[in-house]
Homo-oligomer: A and B are copies of this chain.
Amino acid sequence: MYKLKRQDKRSSARTGLLKTAHGTVATPAFVAVATRATVKALEPQALTKIGVQIVIANSYHLHLRPGEETIAALGGLHRFSGWEGPTMTDSGGFQVFSLGAGKEHGVGKVASIFPDEEPRPPTKREKQGKSLVKLSEEGAYFRSIINGSEHFFSPEGVIELERKLGADIIFVLDECTSPLHDYTYTKGAMERTHRWAKRAFNAFEQPVDEEAYPNRDQILYGIVQGGAYEDLRRESATVIGGMDFGGFAIGGSLGRSKEEMHQVLDWTIPLLPEEKARHLLGIGEIEDIFAAVRRGIDTFDCAAPTRIARNGTVFFKDAPRHRINLRNSRFRDDPQPIDETCNCFTCCHHSRAYLRHLCLAGEFSFYRLATIHNLHFLVRLMQDIRAAIESDAFDELEAEWCAPA
């Protein structure tokens, strides 16, 4: 459960402790994406060395493969993967979007920035122009991206699925709408999401045979929807925030631009109970992190830092968008580490020239080394952000990192 440590005086930024059955997370914190029970290119033990506090796996993907029964039989996600720290599972609600309207509309949660999911070849159905998702009041019918098989996700079924996976923090099934959905659609979807939230909450409250599940101390988060429409977001924050969830997530759509995303947070967060944690789904650019923390976000996840790493893009403070691409020929003979001030494994051991070589050669070892740096960079940034909040210097830290608006 969440414990507030310090509330910034000049903004809604705050530090706190998020206690879970597998440890306590100092917030604000970045949640590393481990979709299929592994952060891509990293073994779980490396996360501990990097200082990653918490990861998020995906219920839809793990349901398809290897299946929640297999994971439960092996003792739940923690024992299955070897990651013993705090863990979240997303509910499949994001896939309602990413395999459905997001695909159809060709957009991410924030329409103007890159897609949130890994690129993958289209399935047979997608080639025929058919969606992989069908929604009803009951729940979501999904087609598997692996073999086309049909899977039904209901709010209650997802609670059962997440119980079997055994993460510490689990999310209710929601409908993540597209930034290009209109007001009427978004309102209808939000209202259904609210009905689903109540069903999930009730299912979660039902007594169960705890022995049958790997984790007895799960925390259920509600998800606020409502697109980029002010009245809908306020309504959703009031309805979802009024329920006794263990914490709250702000779901997408987050609008057509970063400015709209900031508005969504401004409308939503003040209506959520102060004593509960707030998670922002799918955000990871440095400036977005500051914007989200400033508005009172405690945790956020994003696949981008690990995905861009595999493409050669690594975080570096003093560069445009805080990133450099190691494929650039100017690094060919560069004996320096990515960042001289960084003490990650990669920066301690390898030069830009060597990393560039591995990247251009497509060596798997590159993916791991670049991922280590990017995660370490975010871990350190979040430490700095927490320290700044604790010492009333968040504004100054943000000014140091972000160009003036």
A residues engaging B (CB < 8 A)?
A: 36-45, 65-66, 70, 73-75, 80-82, 310, 332-333, 335, 345, 349-351, 353-354, 356-358, 360-361, 363-365, 367-369
Q: Is the CB of B66 within 8 A of A356?
A: yes
Q: Is the CB of A40 within 8 A of B74?
A: no
Q: Is the CB of A82 within 8 A of B363?
A: no
Measured in the bound complex, the distance between the Cα atoms of B350 and A142 in whole Å is 31
Q: Is the CB of A349 within 8 A of B73?
A: no
- Please give the distance in Å from A365's CB to the nearest CB on chain B: 5
Q: Is the CB of A74 within 8 A of B37?
A: no
| In the complex, chain B residues whose CB is within 8 Å of the CB of A368 | 41, 43, 364-365, 368
B36, B360, B363: the one within 8 Å of A361 (CB): B36
Measured in the bound complex, the distance between the Cα atoms of B41 and A367 in whole Å is 9
Given the interface contacts A80-B351, A354-B37, does A43 sit within 8 Å of B365 by beta carbon? Answer: yes
Q: Is the CB of B363 within 8 A of A38?
A: yes
| In the complex, chain B residues whose CB is within 8 Å of the CB of A360 | 65-66
Q: Is the CB of A81 within 8 A of B43?
A: no
Q: Is the CB of B364 within 8 A of A41?
A: yes
| In the complex, chain B residues whose CB is within 8 Å of the CB of A44 | 349
Q: Is the CB of B82 within 8 A of A357?
A: no
- Please give the distance in Å from A230's CB to the nearest CB on chain B: 41
Measured in the bound complex, the distance between the Cα atoms of B353 and A37 in whole Å is 12
| In the complex, chain B residues whose CB is within 8 Å of the CB of A349 | 43-45, 82
Given the interface contacts A80-B353, A358-B38, does A333 sit within 8 Å of B364 by beta carbon? Answer: no
Name which residue of chain B comes closest to A353, CB basis: B74
Q: Is the CB of A353 within 8 A of B41?
A: no
Name which residue of chain B comes closest to A61, CB basis: B361
Q: Could you pull out 7 A-B pairs where Cβ atoms are within 8 angstroms?
A: A37-B358, A66-B356, A70-B357, A74-B335, A82-B349, A364-B367, A368-B368
Given contacts A38-B365, A70-B332, A74-B353, 19 further A-B contacts (CB under 8 A): A36-B357, A37-B357, A41-B365, A42-B365, A43-B368, A44-B349, A65-B360, A65-B361, A66-B353, A66-B356, A66-B357, A70-B333, A74-B333, A74-B335, A80-B354, A82-B349, A82-B354, A364-B364, A364-B368
B37, B43, B333, B357: the one within 8 Å of A73 (CB): B333
| In the complex, chain B residues whose CB is within 8 Å of the CB of A41 | 363-365, 368
Name which residue of chain B comes closest to A362, CB basis: B36
B40, B65, B363: the one within 8 Å of A36 (CB): B363
Name which residue of chain B comes closest to A66, CB basis: B357
Measured in the bound complex, the distance between the Cα atoms of B332 and A358 in whole Å is 33
- Please give the distance in Å from A363's CB to the nearest CB on chain B: 5
- Please give the distance in Å from A342's CB to the nearest CB on chain B: 16
Given the interface contacts A45-B349, A74-B354, A80-B351, does A363 sit within 8 Å of B40 by beta carbon? Answer: yes
